Structure 1
Amino acid sequence: GGTVIGSARCKSFRTREGRLQAAYNLVQRGITNLCVIGGDGSLTGANLFREEWSGLLEELAQKGKIDEEAVKKYAYLNIVGMVGSIDNDFCGTDMTIGTDSALHRIIEVVDAIMTTAQSHQRTFVLEVMGRHCGYLALVSALACGADWVFIPEYPPEEGWEDSMCVKLSENRARKKRLNIIIVAEGAIDCHNKPITSEKVKDLVVQRLGFDTRVTILGHVQRGGTPSAFDRILASRMGVEAVLALLEATPATPACVVSLSGNQAVRLPLMECVQMTQEVQKAMDEGRFVEAVRLRGRSFENNLNTYKLLSHKKPDAELPKSNFNVAVLNVGAPAAGMNAAVRAAVRVGITEGHKMFAVIDGFEGFAKGKIKEISWGDVGGWTGQGGSILGTKRTLPAKYLEKIADQMRTNNINALMVIGGFEAYLGLLELSAAREKYDEFCVPMVMVPATVSNNVPGSDFSIGADTALNTITDTCDRIKQSASGTKRRVFIIETMGGYCGYLANMGALAAGADAAYIFEEQFDIRELQANVEHLTEKMKTSIQRGLVLRNENCNENYTTDFIYQLYSEEGKGVFDCRKNVLGHMQQGGAPSPFDRNFGTKISAKAMQWISKKLKETYRKGKVFANTDDSVCLLGMCRRNLVFQPVAELKTETDFVHRIPKEQWWLKLRPLMKILAKYKTSYDVSDSGQLEHVAMHSPKEAETGAI
């Protein structure tokens, strides 16, 4: 955590004398490429430094500190920025480095507070960081289902005091035993007057007499070890930054490497800084709608989803669609499934549908385990791990008749399936059975949820981030154990079926020496090279090794085989231990990313169902039998995309249950380079310089996570 090389808010760099000294220090060491990791202040400063560079060198030459030769030799300074800031307040990137870790800290605290608040029937006001940006407050409110959230970009309307108190007391009346209110430290009302956590507390106590406590998280949010997401994000951005510097010419503007969806992009630094300053200006001038839009599509998407899910309209105001929609979980449990069910149910109710929950997957469906589910039934589900509805790996093929009966009996007009590879196979089977059973001629959508991240048509699946964090945490502990005993190598087996995502990304996040996966065949020579590499490593000051192995990477080179090979070959140099992580990777409370991703992707899938129901409703019944009425909603590079499952068939290796092409394989060389292997890195996928575009409100819908 933190920064090993140290960080400072340097006063003297703000003066020309300070920058002159800095220029001198760089020239002395022959440095003309800078990679700046920091917030908008650091990046603005770096850009100014670059603009002044030639002037600074001339001044140094006049003072006789450097010679004319040096002025010519070091004439240009290239700068690339990476945004490291927990507030996520920088325009142009979906996630800044450090944001996800800060969310982890906040969510840990909220989860802990929820248990105490529940037992004492208390109201808690939580203050989180974000002086000028409400991202942390907004996403943590979304991730824990808070009752109310105050952020600077979207101040509450006049008379918010009344509506907040009404909402809190309604929740109590609905037998909800706790209230959580989240306040960003920079929260304001529509007259730009600050709203403090104390003010909110006093209000609740005076008006409602609820037992209320304030918790200010403060600098806890900056600390702790980085989450798996941040480690991988930072590693990817670091590579991008170096590639950008290598390609930079005196003519290219200083750029920032940033993340759009799951894609690295480069943006001109000053455009981003100007846009970030625009947000502040819009807020100061009370143009709040514009402030939200300037923050980017990810922020806007979060806000819209939060508004949809947190406030239930009175029944009288809800539309009546007369459609029945069923939600079920299929496959193995994955953290975040419950958040997805909650979002689906609540958005469905908002759209006027009657929502049904199916217990225990397709098997439960066949047995008639199906019941109506209401808004209140899914309260507090976001933070729950596993699958509350129950989930089974059973495929529908052997129960087709019974499932069709149940769909007819309960008059189900659409299906939403949340699950892994089995869910995908299940939808293929149901759409194939449409010729025989009219009941399956309804819109069906799948939301990928599996720790293995092996579903075609999506870069991410719900649950994979939580599993990755579990692996990373365990590897951190094991590395400490190994460095304590010195000269020890650990072999760790991860889950994932034939998909090497967890092993590969876990290795990248934990700084492993090797990761064996099915997608990249390896032989005894490679194993031998790895052993030799570790033998060399033991001669250095870092006397420990970490090797990850996907459970099905090779049927003969088993974890035991690799363990025995390393033990034998390493005799006298290092000893070896093995560890099979097993089902702990499926458990645990969902990470902030999985809660957020699950909530947003599921809400979007439900809106698609509503649209499809309207399109396919003819003569008093729903009839949908085209390929595009059975879709999978996935994250593809930059956007959330609906893809017909029939079209994904060609992209799937059904024998090994993995997609034929997987984006993360491009990151494999990076892991090897970081483990000090000589290898080449494929730069064909590196980001191109783009411009910061104001997105249209329409675009927020396809937007990022």
Structure 2
Amino acid sequence: MKKVAVLTSGGDAPGMNPAIRAVVRRGIFQGLDVFGVQHGFEGLMKGNFISMDLGSVGDIIHRGGTILRSARSERFRTEEGQIEALQKLNEAEIDGLIVIGGDGSFRGAEKLTEKGFPTIGIPGTIDNDICGTDYTIGFDTAVNTVVEAIDKIRDTASSHERTYVIEVMGRDAGDIALWSGLCVGAESIIIPEEVCDMDDIVARLEQGNKRGKKHSIIVVAEGVCRGDEIAKAIEQTTGLETRVTVLGHLQRGGSPSAFDRMIASQMGAKAIDLLLDGHKGVMVGLKGGNLIHSPFAEAAKVQHKLDMSLYHLARSLSI
């Protein structure tokens, strides 16, 4: 193996740049020529390769987003698109590819492996919904962004004695909502993994009012419903003045946390090592504090599970 390429795909996540940096510098350290692919799989099909040297990844470890840019590609989902990408890789004499992204990106990487091309995946998504790893790159930063925002919203909620519903991202996983809700002391946390019980939410609000509480925070994951639907139900049932804040793509930006920089650096270097050791069709993961790797197919078979003990802890602390 002499030449490797790296791309970022799907939604951006804080920590993708530190991962790119680690791939490039570990690769050069191991004597490889490293290329970046601009605009994900879409760029791969067009042959958008750029040579990466030590300087090209200098001063990016603290930057959010991805210097390689990202894009979603419907054409790459087709057989024709995948063959076109393979042709571009072969024309550029690339020997291995590292894909940084979520489950959709890994499905694309797996298709290339099935066609005989070595690929390694690095889990980069704020949703933390990838099996085979305890944490994905970007999750920690996103949670900290949400916590900081809710801390500020709580000041206003207290000043005006209002109930605030905060809608957070996470797609079909409740990790961001649960972690941030627990860390800000939210009265209720609504996640896809647990049935939304409006009677319970209202009862907890009324219980707080009886003991003199004048404001409340409710965190809802986007995979359950819209925040304004919850707010409307609360106002109709309790008469409490309720406001909604949708944090949206704010959660995907910003400088990556120290934790995300750390795991991105570890995973990026590990991906290079795996390619050099002859592995393909696997993703890097972090389990119990240790770096591991598992086949794309194996990770796809297992459904991501939320640590529900945290949910019950949050309920017991927000009485």
TM-score, with structure 1 as normaliser: 0.35
Aligned pairs (5 A) from 1:23-172: 23-53=86-116, 77-156=117-196, 160-172=197-209
The equivalent of 1:300 in structure 2 is: 308
Contact residue 186 and residue 217 of structure 2 kept, 8 A = yes
CA drift at 1:253: 5.2
1:272 corresponds to 2:299: yes
1:184 to 218, 221, 238: 221
Choose which of 73, 79, 82 in structure 2 pairs with 1:10: 73
Q: Describe the superposition over 1:321-351 as per-residue Cα deviations: whole angstroms up to 9, x where unpaired.
A: xxxxxxxxxxxxxxxxxxxxxxxxxxxxxxx
2:56 aligned residue? none
Return the alpha-carbon distance in structure 2 between the equivalents of residues 201 and 49 of structure 1.
46
Measured after TM superposition, the shift of residue 37 of structure 1 is: 0.4
Letter in 1 for 2:262: I
User: Which SS does the other structure have where 1:141 is aligned?
Assistant: helix
> Which residue of 181, 199, 210 maps to 2:229?
199
Q: Distance in 2 between matches of 1:253 and 1:17?
A: 22
How far residue 108 of structure 1 moved from its aligned partner, in angstroms, is 1.2
Given the alignment, which residue of 243, 259, 284 partners 1:257? Answer: 284
Q: In 2, distance between residues paired with 1:30 and 1:301?
A: 49
Structure-2 residue corresponding to 1:234: 264
Q: Which amino acid aligns with 1:13?
A: F
Q: Helix, strand or coil for the counterpart of 1:94?
A: coil
C-alpha distance in structure 2 between counterparts of 1:241 and 1:154, whole Å: 35
| SS class of match (1:259) | strand
Q: What is the aligned length? A: 256
Aligned to 2:23: none
Q: Distance in 1 between matches of 2:154 and 2:253?
A: 22
The Cα shift of 1:148 comes to 0.7
Please show how residues 538-577 of structure 1 align to structure 2 within 5 Å.
Answer: none
Query: How far is 1:114 from its partner?
Result: 0.7
Q: Distance in 2 between matches of 1:166 and 1:21?
A: 58
1:462-501 correspondence runs (5 A): none
Q: CA deviation at 1:99?
A: 0.6
Deviation, 1:309, is 2.4
Q: 1:124 aligns to what SS in structure 2?
A: strand
Map residues 597-616 of structure 1 onto 2, 5 A cutoff: none
Instruction: Flag as ranges the 4+ runs of structure 1 deviating above 4 A.
Output: none
- Deviation, 1:11, is 1.7
The 3 A distance-change label for structure 1 pair 184 and 26 is same
User: Which residue pairs with 2:29 in the alignment?
Assistant: none
In 1, distance between residues paired with 2:286 and 2:312? 21
Q: After TM superposition, list the pairs within 5 Å mapping 1:593-632 onto structure 2.
A: none
Unpaired segments of 5 or more residues in structure 1?
Answer: 54-76, 188-194, 280-293, 312-705
- How far apart are 1:241 and its partner, in Å? 0.9
- Residues 137-184 of structure 1 show CA distances to partners (whole Å, capped at 9, x for unaligned) of 11111111111111111123xxx2222111101112222221001111
Q: Distance in 1 between matches of 2:215 and 2:125?
A: 32
SS in 1 for 2:255: coil
Match of 2:210 among 173, 187, 190: 173
Code of the residue aligned with 2:163 in structure 1: it is T
The share of aligned pairs that are identical, in percent, is: 42
Q: Contact 1:258–1:265 at 8 Å: present in 2 too?
A: yes
Counterparts of 1:105 and 1:91 in 2: how far apart (Å)?
Answer: 23
Q: How does 1:341-420 map to 2 (within 5 A)?
A: none
TM-score by length of 2: 0.77
Alignment of 1:296-335 (within 5 A): 299-311=307-319
CA contact (8 A) 1:80 1:257 kept: yes
Could you tell me whether the CA contact under 8 Å between 1:168 and 1:179 is conserved in 2?
yes
- For residues 47 and 163 of structure 1, what CA distance do their matches in structure 2 show? 43
Q: CA-to-partner distance for each residue in 1:342-386, whole Å, 9 max, x for gaps?
A: xxxxxxxxxxxxxxxxxxxxxxxxxxxxxxxxxxxxxxxxxxxxx
Deviation at 1:19, TM superposition (A): 1.2
Larger RCO (CA within 8 A; separation ≥ 6): 2
Deviations 1:64-98 (A, max 9, x none): xxxxxxxxxxxxx2211100011001112111001
- Separation in structure 2 between the aligned mates of residue 184 and residue 126 of structure 1, nearest angstrom: 9
Q: Find the aligned partners of 2:159 and 2:71 in 1 and give their Cα distance.
A: 43
Q: Secondary structure at the match of 2:193?
A: coil
| Residues 301 and 239 (structure 1), Cα distance of their counterparts in 2 relative to 1, 3 Å cut | farther
Q: Distance in 1 between matches of 2:194 and 2:298?
A: 24
Distance in 1, Cα, partners of 2:275 & 2:299: 18
- Distance, in Å, in 1 between the alignment partners of 2:315 and 2:94 is 50
RMSD: 1.5
Q: Which amino acid aligns with 2:211?
A: R
1:48 aligned partner, one-letter code: K
Quick one: distance in 2 between partners of 1:162 and 1:22? 53
Question: Does the CA-based 8 Å contact 1:253-1:269 persist in structure 2?
Answer: no
C-alpha distance after superposition, 1:449-497 (max 9, x if no partner): xxxxxxxxxxxxxxxxxxxxxxxxxxxxxxxxxxxxxxxxxxxxxxxxx
Do the aligned residues in 2 keep the contact of 1:204 with 1:210 (CA within 8 Å)? yes
Q: What 5-or-longer segments of structure 2 have no aligned partner? A: 1-63
1:303 and 1:12, CA in 2 relative to 1: closer, same or farther beyond 3 A? same
Please state whether the residue corresponding to 1:126 is helix, strand or coil: strand
Query: Which amino acid in the other structure matches residue 85 of structure 1?
Result: T
- Is the 8 Å Cα contact of residues 120 and 280 (structure 2) preserved in structure 1? no
